[in-house]
A and B are shown apart, each in its own frame.
Chain A
Amino acid sequence: MIQYAIRRLLLAVPTLLGVSMLVFGILRMLPGDPATALAGVHATQEVVERIRAEHGLDKPIHLQYLGFMKDLFRGNLGKSIRTALPVTTEVVSRLIPTLELTAVSMVLAVLLGVIVGVISAAKPYTVFDYGSMLGALVGLSAPVFWLGLMLMLLFSLQLGWLPAAGRGDFRHLILPSVTLAASSVALIARFTRSTMLEVLRSEYIATARAKGLRESRVILRHALSNAMIPILTIIGLRFGALLSGAVLTENVFAWPGVGRLVVDSISARDYPVVQGAVLMIAVSFVFINLVVDLLYGVVNPRIRYD
């Protein structure tokens, strides 16, 4: 297993190289460039060209790429065109709030999702089952901006319990992470329920039941551990999606996260920042997917690594 993990980590290098090439190329395929975006409506051509020259955007693309790679190997992600800050500083400072938010909302989503899913599967086609399904689907269909605003209106404006937006102490984290968790709860609950149902129908569980084990024991010990793989997969996917896809939540709650940074930087065609941010997000994905794959082996020892 350790050997496998090491091999995977070594393979991260070509993966990240691939990401960097792809992002580098695609960014330059986009219409518009940092100079036109930065200079804005009022700019003259003269200014646009000066900005291009200042940032070496007037050089041939292969030279730009070589320069980028050279810096990259020295661990230098370059400087933001828009803010002139080092990309590393900028991305890291925005990745931290995102990690906070993602972690809290994942804990919420996994706890709630797995519990609801398991109960639904244990008592299928009951009021609880359908009630939770309905709740899950509403959570999934409600756009983040709507849900977020509703929570704000209730808990901040009406009840005055929580700050409406912004980053600060722990209380600031509650509303955005609940909002962010909503769609994940739905996904995790539905997945848990469905795989649990599947497992509960298998001969293996029938045997366990026949042996006279208590139902709760059957469900928790035997069924859940067997249903863990799809659940783990979904958790891994959600974790990743939250990392890069929390833009809307970050917008609604004025959360200074990396999702907003990426979107703002794409809009500004701030090439170095987008490159750097995507690269760092990619690193997190490599880790998340590795952890998920390793956990597969933990929950089901029959799965081999090769």
Chain B
Amino acid sequence: MSKTDDTKLIERCISGDRQAFEALLAEYEKPVYNAAYRMLNNRDDARDVTQTVFLKVFQNFGQYDPSRRFFSWIYRITLNESINWLGKANRLEPLAFEAADEGKGPEQEFESARVSATVQAALMTINTDYRTVVILKHFLGCSYVEIGEILELPEKTVKSRLYTARQHLKDELTDQGL
């Protein structure tokens, strides 16, 4: 969806049009859920964070800066909520990285599911600063400039983090036989 389309939808949302909000939800539900899932490694938590994100978006349309792209705003909220969620989880109990092995159902028999789970396990071995840039680059398809906008980081820092993250992931996935 183009920036213009998003802006029109947001204007309609601010004027109280629930259908416009549902259209935004339809557009961004999947990337937001996936970003949260890759950050948290838990589908139930990703669902809860996604709900929170959209509720916050709905309640804070007034704070949205229309000069910025909507996706950068909602992705930023998503990553912040996910990091907050991880913080809460860490206070309760250590993160179980082996949880990436969840769902040993039939779908795991498929190669794509195996790759997805292995990648997820590797993602959980790198810290959140690195994980966020990998998710934005490879799972949400953002450019360096867009990642910089979302994370409010210089492009040079984005590249540095991404390259370092890739090196870690490469080593981790090699160890796991992928």
- Bound together: no
Residues of chain A having any CB pair with chain B under 8 Å: none
Residues of chain B having any CB pair with chain A under 8 Å: none
